[in-house]
Amino acid sequence: MRAKKFEIKIEKYLKRQFGITIDAASKRQIYEAVMSTVREELSEKKFVYEQELKKTKQKRAYYMSMEFLVGRTLRNNLFNLGLEQEVKEYLANNNFSLDEIYDIEPDPGLGNGGLGRLASCYLDALTSNDYPVTGFSILYEYGIFKQVINNGWQEEFPDYWLDLGKYGLVYRNDEEVEVRFYGYVEEKLTEKGFTVEHKDYTAIQAEPYDLLISGYKTDSVNTLRLWEAKAKTGFNMKLFEKGEYSKSSEAEAIASSISKLLYPADSTNEGKELRIKQQYFFISASLQQLVKNYYNEFGTLENLFEHVALHINDTHPAMGVPELMRLLLDEYGYSWEKAWKITTKTFAYTNHTIMSEALEKWSVDLFKPLLPRIYSIIEEINKRFCGWALEQGKGYTLAQTAIIYDNQIRMANLSIVGSHNVNGVSKLHSDILVESTFKAFNELYPTKFGNVTNGIAHRRWLGQANPELAVYLEKLIGNDFIKDLSKINKLNNYVNDKKVIEQLMDIKKIKKEQLAEYIQNTTGITVNPNSIFDVQVKRLHEYKRQLLNALHIVYLYKEIKYNGLRPVPRTFIFAAKASSGYQMAKNIIKFIHSISQMIESDELVREYIKVVFLPDYKVTLAEKIIPAADISEQISQAGKEASGTGNMKLMLNGAITLGTLDGANVEICEAVGYDNIFIFGLETSQVNDLNLRGYKSWEYYSASPRIKETLDFIRTMTVGGMNFSFIVDYLLTQDNFMCLADFDSYVEMQEKVSKIYQNKEKWGRMSLINTANAGIFSADRSVEEYAKNIWNIKKVK
Ligand SMILES: *Cc1c(COP(=O)(O)O)cnc(C)c1O
């Protein structure tokens, strides 16, 4: 019945929009019709949902994030609406393939990596669990770049995702707001008391677009609100006539840059300024809108924290703290003390990294002229905080805790001071936060810090990405794991069932064959689906150590070619984008391609090993690769990967983790036991000790023949006219992540992997145990913890 109605709507859309019937429609028109019909369906549901929320006035969470890595929406929405099967059949009856329609949808390029994907997994999970939440971010016109590989080098191209992606968006021109930059602040004592006025500012218009978020089998529909920057009045005639030519089009120039790109290069001052503008733009627009609506509804802001939980996802939205203060002080006339109480009770902050280069700092000289009022509020917060901190007499210096120090504004410190709760994203990471990175803050605020281990939207990463496995599991253990992933542990009852293990391995083989075909079509490389699929997919970064993986491959090449090694066949699969200004990361991509080329041109070696680099890593590509993986490479230097979520997706799909005891690998290890995971390398404390003693790479080089021979071989490597000595020099003189210290232990573990893989039943059992114990890594579990322990929000009835 519902399906029939849905079909009628599609046909109506075709008629209205294009004046055609379905048999005359093109694929592109069908795509537009289905996307638009889904959007309408969700809009109608959302209307009812919002009515309910208006009645209950219950508390809602607002998740502010620079990134949301949404992935394609159409399949997820049809899956959640329970319409996928019917729509598939309906389209098939009209000679369209739903899978081909899915393929038309671009990935909304609104995120970069794990942080953004986490934000999207959380919106999905919160909605599926009926928690009221709104996401806030920017409608990037180009988002993250499209990666093209040319002669082994990464090249970046703009991704025009909105061309086809816009059909999922609802334009809400009723909720536009204005965001102000530059100018100066005038403080006055009037009969109304002390007032602050922002003068001579440049105004930018923030236009809201909503992406509606569906949940699995529920009537809840939440919203991801995306702001687009537009010049307020466009061209300023008055200024132009006065002869102020550059100023007259200033707003236009600012506006057009703000919502263009995610993470514009920030090596220059202009780049840094643009990032501050982006952050303030979406935070100010979101909070102005929210506060206005709240005041209209409740007539006060005094109890804001009773109905609103604001979340700072990493430091990018940290300006929410001074912006809310500004609204409370300047626009609504609250005293500092009251405003501060309201603000700190409303905000919570998640830290995602301890890498010092990612803990944002902005120069006062850059920040102050751009946001004069926000700067003066941060200054006051800092002054009061420092005074209070000194009074506590803990003996910490301002160098450790001050918000403004050395002419820089430290956004992590601002976030901690302005929030009532701070959490890390895995047990290990949260321990490192309180024991080292934020030790001083933890002593000042002993109850503020906590942990919520990350999780993944399992309905996407299993249900949709691997329907073969999901359908089989449903038959075997029932379908309740789709709603509640902890139920997947029923699979543990089959650890000794050879038939089940065989079936699971058959499904893995199907996924590997599908990926092999994709690899053939995109790279021209033929891979053997019977080989071990050894997968490392994630952003390219030195700390993630794709280079360690590459070193092992070179070692194998050399052993096969010169020393008679005949290993179990393997396909090494990489996918990774390097940040556009990150040269070493780009060099590593080139190195991996060169190894691939070297192997492909060797008749002997390519019988045993292959290297494939799949370009343009994104959610849609991850959905193809992850179900086909045998080995999940999680080989970051211990202490550096805050959590990882790729590791969880791979585990759920039956890949076995080969990793260091880092991030959530530690918890994966606890869940499956040391027999069902391959752990190698230094642990966090050993890395710290080694850092204190001083890491001497050449000692590893001299002591280990394997390292010496591999590095010496790389010096002789010339591929396509390029020599790779610089890689060796890097490893010996610059590598902060100590690849050589872990190399021997890594190679030995890789040998164990090959050995166990030959025992199909044993391998299959390990794989089964990984899938069966992935329940705790559902984002449903994570968002329950946020809802209960941090936001104090309840489900919509
Ligand atoms: C899950 C995911 C990530 C995060 O991977 P990690 O291995 O945890 O770094 C990055 N990008 C995409 C597209 C993902 O789906």
pLDDT (mean) for 333-337: 96
pLDDT (mean) for 30-56: 97
Confidence band (pLDDT; 50, 70, 90) for 636?
A: very high
Among the ranges given (201-210, 259-268, 282-291, 624-633), the one the predictor scored with the smallest mean pLDDT:
259-268
Residue 113 Cβ inside 6 Å of ligand 1? The answer reads yes
Q: Which atom of ligand 1 is nearest to the CA of 649?
A: 1
Domain boundary among 429, 451, 473: 451
Asked, for residue 41, whether it belongs to a domain, the answer is no
pLDDT (mean) for 509-522: 98
pLDDT (mean) for 690-704: 98
Residue 114 Cβ inside 6 Å of ligand 1? The answer reads yes
Nearest residue by C-alpha to atom 1 in ligand 1 = 646
Nearest residue by C-alpha to atom 11 in ligand 1 = 113
List the catalytic residue out of 198, 539, 545, 610.
539
What's the pLDDT at 395?
77
Confidence band (pLDDT; 50, 70, 90) for 264?
A: confident
CATH number at residue 557: 3.40.50.2000
In this model, does residue 235 exceed pLDDT 60?
A: no
Query: Pick from 544, 705, 571: which is nearest to 640 by CA?
Result: 544
Domain boundary among 451, 479, 513: 451
Confidence band (pLDDT; 50, 70, 90) for 242?
A: low
Q: How does DSSP classify residue 143?
A: B
Give pLDDT tens digits for 540-584: 999 999 999 999 999 999 999 999 999 999 999 999 999 999 999
Measured CA to CA, the distance from residue 427 to residue 275 in angstroms comes to 31
Q: Which residues contact 723 (CB under 8 A, 6 or more apart)?
A: 715, 717
Most distant CA pair in the chain: distance in Å? Answer: 91
Nearest residue by C-alpha to atom 3 in ligand 1 = 114
Nearest residue by C-alpha to atom 2 in ligand 1 = 114
Q: Which atom of ligand 1 is nearest to the CA of 112?
A: 11
User: Is 649 considered catalytic here?
Assistant: yes
Average pLDDT, the chain: 96
What's the pLDDT at 197?
92
Helices (H) and strands (E) in the chain, counts: 36, 25
What's the pLDDT at 357?
80
What's the pLDDT at 239?
63
Strand pairing class (202-214; 221-231): antiparallel
Query: Pick from 684, 720, 740: which is nearest to 547 by CA?
Result: 740
User: Is 657 considered catalytic here?
Assistant: no
Do residue 411 and residue 494 come from a single domain? Answer: no
User: Is 733 considered catalytic here?
Assistant: no
Among the ranges given (104-113, 254-263, 530-539, 587-596), the one the predictor scored with the smallest mean pLDDT:
254-263
pLDDT (mean) for 626-655: 98
List the catalytic residue out of 352, 459, 545, 765.
352
What's the pLDDT at 240?
62
Percent of the residues in the chain that have a pLDDT greater than 70, as a whole number? 98
User: Is 5 considered catalytic here?
Assistant: no
pLDDT (mean) for 522-543: 98
pLDDT (mean) for 394-403: 85
Q: Contact 421/450 with Cβ under 8 angstroms?
A: yes
Residue 352 Cβ inside 6 Å of ligand 1? The answer reads no
**Ligand 1 centroid to residue 113 C-alpha, Å:** 5
Among the ranges given (167-171, 196-200, 788-792), the one the predictor scored with the smallest mean pLDDT:
196-200
Do residue 421 and residue 533 come from a single domain? Answer: no
Do residue 580 and residue 480 come from a single domain? Answer: yes
Do residue 502 and residue 421 come from a single domain? Answer: no
Report the SS3 class of residue 395: coil
Q: Contact 37/9 with Cβ under 8 angstroms?
A: yes
CA dihedral 632, 638, 641, 643 (to 10 degrees): 70
Percent of the residues in the chain that have a pLDDT greater than 90, as a whole number? 92
Domain hosting residue 373, numbered range: 57-72+107-153+168-451
Nearest residue by C-alpha to atom 4 in ligand 1 = 114
User: Is 760 considered catalytic here?
Assistant: no
Domain count, the chain: 2
Residue 645 Cβ inside 6 Å of ligand 1? The answer reads yes
Asked, for residue 102, whether it belongs to a domain, the answer is no
Do residue 566 and residue 663 come from a single domain? Answer: yes
In this model, does residue 151 exceed pLDDT 80?
A: yes
Do residue 776 and residue 731 come from a single domain? Answer: yes
Confidence band (pLDDT; 50, 70, 90) for 252?
A: confident
Do residue 227 and residue 178 come from a single domain? Answer: yes
Q: Contact 206/181 with Cβ under 8 angstroms?
A: no
What's the pLDDT at 1?
73
What's the pLDDT at 250?
75
Asked, for residue 373, whether it belongs to a domain, the answer is yes
Residue 119 Cβ inside 6 Å of ligand 1? The answer reads no
Do residue 393 and residue 524 come from a single domain? Answer: no
User: Is 645 considered catalytic here?
Assistant: yes
Give pLDDT tens digits for 432-462: 999 999 999 999 999 999 999 999 999 999 9
